[in-house]
Amino acid sequence: MSDLILTPNLDNADDFYANLLAAHEGLEKPDSDALNARLVLVLANHIGDGTVLSDAIRAAALSKN
């Protein structure tokens, strides 16, 4: 298992959420989904560690809140 951080660890979480919502404003569902996919790929590239990314996929699949 990698050192995947699953506890709150985001500076200015409210600002991030506001920016994310603003980026989606006015988009139709397919365009919004495409934006999310591009964001995932940009962040995955930034992380760059296959083990961390695999653990993140597994964690996301298990958390169905």
pLDDT of residue 65: 63
Give the N- to C-terminal CA distance of the chain in Å, as an integer. 23
pLDDT of residue 2: 80
Contact partners, residue 47, CB within 8 Å, separation at least 6:
53, 56
Q: Grade residue 63 by pLDDT with cuts at 50, 70 and 90.
A: confident
In this prediction, residues 15-42 reach a mean pLDDT of 98
Distance CA(51)–CA(10), nearest Å, equals 21
In this prediction, residues 40-57 reach a mean pLDDT of 96
